[in-house]
């Protein structure tokens, strides 16, 4: 399998590029518009063909490259059916299985950070978007976020995956790159040993500033990054 974890240093965003091998079709998850040319160069160098670009949710902190990549490669663009973005070519729903030239990706609706948040499950790994972060979780104070939903998504759906499942998040602010479900169950300070009520209390008192690009990014992303 070809697998690349790419990083946007301006917004601490991870993007993932996956294909089953050289000459095969590829999918990109959570691409950032500023890096469109870099993705296209890498795709070319790896000898793979981009057929699908998927966002885990409508992002508030960066502009998606979904629209730009579709223009350049004619790839299919995807978001969950709960999205307000009308620009994507297809939406997926909870429990769908997307097949990218032999790579099977199951879409798991994991609301909480936003109501349109999904996690993407493969055989040995899960892309958790901003639902579950390494030793953290995505804020729940805008875009129809809900801390109770976040708890239910993480503990009910993600923690039901095998402990050895690799966790690849949508962001990291400390330098972590990958975790496992077992590790997060044991060591995530917001979740380990906490009750649902305690988690809601924590999430309701984070007092985070709005993302710098929020007023630009959300409307832009509802148009797949194309104005
Ligand atoms: Fe987010």
Q: Is residue 136 part of a domain?
A: yes
Task: State the distance from the centre of ligand 1 to the C-alpha of 191, rounded, in angstroms.
Answer: 19
Determine the average pLDDT of the residues in 200-220. Answer: 95
Q: Determine how many CB atoms are found less than 10 A away from the CB of residue 193.
A: 8
DSSP class of residue 203 equals H
| pLDDT for residue 49 | 98
Task: State the distance from the centre of ligand 1 to the C-alpha of 15, rounded, in angstroms.
Answer: 13
| pLDDT for residue 52 | 98
Determine the average pLDDT of the residues in 55-62. Answer: 97
The CATH number of the domain holding residue 118 is 3.60.15.10
Per-residue pLDDT reduced to its tens digit, 59-93: 999 999 999 999 999 999 999 999 999 899 999 99
Q: Is residue 212 part of a domain?
A: no
Q: Is residue 218 part of a domain?
A: no
- Residue 100, SS3? strand
Task: State the distance from the centre of ligand 1 to the C-alpha of 22, rounded, in angstroms.
Answer: 31
| pLDDT for residue 92 | 98
Task: State the distance from the centre of ligand 1 to the C-alpha of 60, rounded, in angstroms.
Answer: 6
Task: State the distance from the centre of ligand 1 to the C-alpha of 99, rounded, in angstroms.
Answer: 25
Does residue 119 carry a pLDDT above 80? yes
Does residue 227 carry a pLDDT above 90? no
Q: Is residue 189 part of a domain?
A: yes
Per-residue pLDDT reduced to its tens digit, 8-35: 999 999 999 999 999 999 999 999 999 9
The residue range of the domain holding 8 is: 2-207
Task: State the distance from the centre of ligand 1 to the C-alpha of 23, rounded, in angstroms.
Answer: 32
In terms of Cβ atoms closer than 10 Å to its own Cβ (0-12, 13-18, 19+), residue 86 is: exposed
Q: Is residue 215 part of a domain?
A: no
The C-alpha R_g of the chain, in whole angstroms, comes to: 16
Per-residue pLDDT reduced to its tens digit, 136-155: 999 999 999 999 999 999 99
Task: State the distance from the centre of ligand 1 to the C-alpha of 154, rounded, in angstroms.
Answer: 15
Tell if the pTM clears 0.95, that is, is over it.
yes
Residues ≥6 apart with Cβ < 8 Å to 187: 135
Task: State the distance from the centre of ligand 1 to the C-alpha of 47, rounded, in angstroms.
Answer: 31
Task: State the distance from the centre of ligand 1 to the C-alpha of 124, rounded, in angstroms.
Answer: 23
132: left (phi over 0), alpha (psi -120 to 50) or beta: beta
d(CA 12, CA 9): 5
Task: State the distance from the centre of ligand 1 to the C-alpha of 61, rounded, in angstroms.
Answer: 7
Task: State the distance from the centre of ligand 1 to the C-alpha of 114, rounded, in angstroms.
Answer: 7
Say how many domains are in the chain: 1
Q: Is residue 187 part of a domain?
A: yes
Q: Is residue 223 part of a domain?
A: no
d(CA 213, CA 63): 8
Q: What count of Cα atoms within 13 Å lies in the side-chain half-sphere of residue 187? A: 10
| pLDDT for residue 5 | 98
Q: Is residue 135 part of a domain?
A: yes
| pLDDT for residue 12 | 97
Per-residue pLDDT reduced to its tens digit, 142-196: 999 999 999 999 999 999 999 999 999 999 999 999 999 999 999 999 999 999 9
Task: State the distance from the centre of ligand 1 to the C-alpha of 142, rounded, in angstroms.
Answer: 10
> What is the dihedral sign for C-alpha 54, 59, 61, 66?
positive
């Amino acid at each position: 399998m070809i697998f690349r974890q790419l990083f946007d240093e301006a917004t601490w965003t991870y993007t993932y590029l996956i294909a089953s091998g050289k000459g095969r079709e590829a999918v990109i998850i959570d691409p950032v518009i500023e890096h469109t040319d870099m993705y296209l160069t890498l795709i070319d160098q790896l000898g793979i063909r981009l057929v699908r670009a998927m966002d885990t949710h409508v992002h508030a902190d960066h502009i998606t490259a979904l629209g730009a990549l579709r223009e350049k490669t004619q790839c299919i663009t995807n978001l969950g059916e709960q999205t307000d973005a009308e620009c994507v070519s297809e939406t997926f729903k909870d429990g769908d299985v997307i097949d990218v030239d032999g790579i099977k990706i199951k879409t798991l609706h994991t609301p909480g950070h936003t109501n349109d948040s999904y996690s993407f499950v493969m055989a040995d790994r899960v892309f958790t978007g901003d639902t579950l972060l390494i030793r953290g979780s995505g804020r729940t104070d805008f875009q129809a976020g809900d801390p109770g939903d976040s708890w239910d998504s993480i503990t009910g759906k993600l923690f039901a995956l095998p402990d050895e499942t690799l966790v690849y998040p949508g962001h990291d602010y400390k330098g972590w790159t990958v975790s496992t479900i077992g590790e997060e169950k044991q060591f995530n300070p917001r979740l380990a040993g906490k009750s649902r009520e305690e988690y809601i209390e924590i999430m309701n008192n984070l007092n985070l500033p709005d993302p710098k690009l929020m007023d630009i990014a959300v409307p832009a992303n509802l148009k797949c990054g194309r104005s």
